[in-house]
Amino acid sequence: MTPSIKINKSPIPILWIDTSIILNITLLRLGRKLDSIQKIRIENLYKAIKKATSEGKLICPLADQDEEIWIERKECLKTIHELSLGISTDSTLAVQEKLFELFAESYITQKKLIEIDYSILFHNDIVQQAKQVLSSPFYITTNPPLVGGPEKTKSRKEKMLKYLNKIREENVANKVSFETQKEAEFMAEFNIIKTIITAPQTFADLELDAQDYFWNYINAIEKLSSWRDIVLKHDKSDTSILNFYTSSYYRQIPNIKIRVEFFSKLMTDKQPIRSGDMKDVEHISSMLPFVDILITDKQRKAQLHKLKFNEEYKTKIFYVGDSEKIEEFFGSLQNIKHYNL
């Protein structure tokens, strides 16, 4: 059985902006030179977001974009803090874990309709948080450090990029189809868990450093622990986790579905995978289903529209050049309740 999915979005619209836009807004704030057309677009977007968030008609949270910020990191974080009013999402890993548990339990109980609330993205009730922030003369934010430092993070990223492009080149040479790659991606997490638990020495083939291996190991243990708790709760201890990974339930998890299709496209494309692609896949797959509007670059917008995620999840996907559509969206916010108490 394939379950139906219903996503309940926030009463205050949520906007997610790509890291490249945060950087351009920061350069604008600092008076750095931008292309004349780009400057107008970025300035208009910046003003529109500031106005809407300050009136309690839009939420623009910090959502792990800081993991991609290298240049002008302090100033970029200042930009997103200003626009987010201190509101941030839960971590990508935490959101993934919550969705895994929801769909695993739905599979065990054979639930026909799975409802997901936008609040799964957040630590707290963001409507109440918006009210509190806008009724206070100040709010508190934090500047999270890059785990391992910039050089370590950059080195790990370059290593993984090289590895993925090697696999992509092999896929292209062997004419691996999108559908074949998609099936492999759907089973990737299960195979990683199986490898770490049953044959950890073979995991060294990926040339992961100790930190990457540690987090993959922790993720595997958490997944198995969550699965065990759920099957015991429903007295279904004879149900195999492999059956869940091959089921339509697992394949309907929004972040998994988006990540698999998006990443499969990258891994079977003749074009090299770019430096920011991996993080884009990770962040967009977590955010897109639950936000009302996502603003990214032109190429990414085209890719997401081609995969029809904007239609499936009822999320507007624009790039900064979609000036009229962006203006129309912000104009529609006039009907949103004012939360500035």
Per-residue pLDDT tens digits for 159-202: 888 889 999 999 999 999 999 999 999 999 999 888 888 877 66
Report the alpha-carbon angle 235-240-245, nearest 5.
125
Q: Please check the confidence at residue 39 and state whether its pLDDT lies above 70.
A: yes
The contacts found for 147-156 with CB under 8 angstroms, 24 or more apart, are: 147/211, 148/211, 150/70, 154/70, 156/209, 156/211, 156/212
Range of the domain at 74: 4-187+246-335
Is the distance from CB of 319 to CB of 295 less than 8 angstroms? yes
Residues 80-122: pLDDT tens digits? 888 998 888 998 888 999 999 999 999 999 999 999 999 999 9
When computed from its CA atoms, the radius of gyration of the chain, rounded to whole angstroms, is 21
pLDDT band at 341 (very low <50, low <70, confident <90, very high): very low
Q: For 246-301, how does the pLDDT look when each residue is reduced to its tens digit (9 = 90+)?
A: 999 999 999 999 999 999 999 999 999 987 788 888 889 999 999 999 999 998 99
Return the residue matching tokens 């692609």: 277
Instruction: Establish if 238 belongs to a structural domain.
Output: no
Note whether 62 and 81 are within 8 A (CB): yes
**CB distance 62 to 89 below 8 Å:** yes
Q: Is 211 domain-assigned?
A: no
pLDDT tens-digit profile of 1-14?
Answer: 899 999 999 999 99
340 assigned to some structural domain: no
Give yes or no for residue 69 having a pLDDT over 70.
no
Helix axes 149-173, 254-267, angle to 10 degrees: 70
pLDDT computed for residue 181 by the predictor? 96
Contact criterion met (CB below 8 Å) for 307 and 323: no
Secondary structure class of 175 (helix, strand, coil): coil
The answer as to whether 202 is a domain residue is no
CA atoms within 13 A on the CB side of 95: 29
Alpha carbons 199 and 185: distance in angstroms, whole number: 20
Q: Sheet containing 15-17: which strands, arranged edge to edge?
A: 15-17, 293-296, 316-319
Q: What is the average pLDDT score of the chain? A: 87
In a domain, 194, yes or no: no
Residue 216 lies in a domain: no
Amino acid sitting at position 306 = K
Structural domain includes residue 310: yes
Tokens 């874990």: give the residue.
97
Structural domain count, the chain: 1
